Amino acid sequence: MIAAEGNRLRHVANGQIRTETTMPLPRRLHNLYAALGEVIRAERPDGAAAEQVLGNSNAQSTLKLGQARGVVLLAAANAGLVIGEYHPSVVKKAVVGTGGAEKVQIQAMVGHLLPGVKLAGPDAADALAVAITHAHHLASAQAMGRRQLEARA
**Active site annotation includes 126:** no
Per the DSSP assignment, residues forming a β-bridge with 49 are 84
Q: Please state the residue numbers annotated as binding site for Mg(2+).
A: 51, 123
Q: Where are the alpha helices (DSSP H) in the chain?
A: 25-43, 59-78, 88-95, 103-113, 124-152
Q: Please state the residue numbers annotated as binding site.
A: 51, 123
| Active-site position among 38, 46, 102, 123 | 123
Question: Which residue from 38, 47, 70, 69 is spatially nearest to 1, judged by alpha carbons?
Answer: 47
Rounded to 5 degrees, φ, ψ at 113 are: -75, -25
The CB density around residue 100, as the number of other CB atoms within 10 Å, is 9
**How many angstroms separate the CA atoms of 28 and 33, rounded?**
9
Question: Which residue from 133, 107, 102 is spatially nearest to 121, judged by alpha carbons?
Answer: 107
**Active site annotation includes 46:** no
| Active-site position among 5, 43, 51, 126 | 51
Spacing of C-alpha 118 from chain mean position: 17
Positions marked active-site: 51, 123
